[in-house]
Structure 1
Amino acid sequence: MYTRDVPVENARRRVLVVGAMHGDELSSASVALHWIKLSQAAQKQSQTHWLFIPALNPDGLLSRPSSRVNANGVDLNRNFPTPDWEKETAEYWDKRVRKDPRRWPGKTSLSEPESQYLYDEIRRFQPHLIVSIHAPYGVLDFDGPVRAPDRLGHLHLNQVGIFPGSLGNFGGVQNGMPVVTVELPNALKTPTDVEIKRMWSDLQNWMEGTITPTVTARAPSPTVR
């Protein structure tokens, strides 16, 4: 798994950025890679320790055609341990999405190496904030105990709901670890450089006023199988 760690001395906060959890959302990986450059350019002045995982689902990203699910056919964003995972995800997959193969949650929570890897990284890094980049709904979603950002660039807050096994549910709802979900407007087309920098700037400004040194990240609760 490719990652990029951008540490700083005396960091006030730790932020984890995840792209391409769904392999067919290519623009999400691209934005994460652009943000790595921006974080490195400001590293000496930054008070944020960044950890980037630009492509959590490399198998889906590199398959032809690219695929939302991983090599085992699992939607990674339904595979994280949330309460009553087995019952809730079964109902979600059977009734809400009518067994759409693009949204299969897997046989058990954390059954997949990619979701297990991210779970372990969250426990190790203990981020104060997680930013998960997706596409193509063109909105900003948020889960967590602090004030949500109103906008990042052209994306405005429009919370889409809570899903069993999702990262937002697992991190923001169950473990009190704010999760900003960036839904880019196009899965294949990367935003302009101006828009990428604008989203980045808006994220910094929101973090400065919201994700403060007094915010303590909690390690995730024990795995729910």
Structure 2
Amino acid sequence: MGTRAIKQKVLGLLKQDDLADIETELALLQEKELINALFSGICHSDEQIRWHAVSVMGSAVAVLAEQDMEEARIILRRMLWSLNDESGGIGWGAPESMAEIMCRHQGLADEYVHMLISYMRPDGEEECQDGNFLEHEMLQQGLMWAVGRLAQCRREHLLARGAEHDLPPYLESPDATVCGLAARAIGLLGRPEGLERLQELAKNDRRTVRLYDQGNFSTVSVAKLAELALLELQEVG
């Protein structure tokens, strides 16, 4: 099967509803061919194709890492490069895909989680201040989702690097998705950051956010995400 035919097959399957069935079907393809096709999926305009591609990218690269760790690293470096200004690209879907990959493979999480965190941090004058702050709101949406996803599966990796302290500024974002997903990530990390702002959002912010969570789509208000975060923080407090 040629490259174009593989891409069409992959995108067609990603349109389906059941993520488990999609992953089963796509697992029959050779990992490198599948991953190359998925790069078209993670930046697709169709919500279902895009998010299913993110999930499948995670499982596919994890399988590849077990076969050839260096080839898996190349995929992560390709995503990192897409977020670099010098690449000429924009990097749609890269933070989300990186997080999903790291959820599926601990070795890659150990090596690359610090890079994902760096996208929340500005560059500074000190030698240790090596941030790669993402300014574009659409990329910040993906980054906040990525931090929340990692908080579900690699929470200690994030806390060990102080990622919880990077989240409160995003609660001030004018973008509802950035703001809401930041609130969700704070709750999932379970550290009392930005409490006053979370309380304000829980009372007043009726803007809505489209949320993808491991194969499931929902629409939820920023207020609800902030409320859930506060409940999570109460439980761990």
Q: TM-score scaled by structure 1?
A: 0.25
Larger Rg over CA atoms: 2
Task: Return the structure number with greater helix share.
Answer: 2
Task: Return the structure number with greater strand share.
Answer: 1
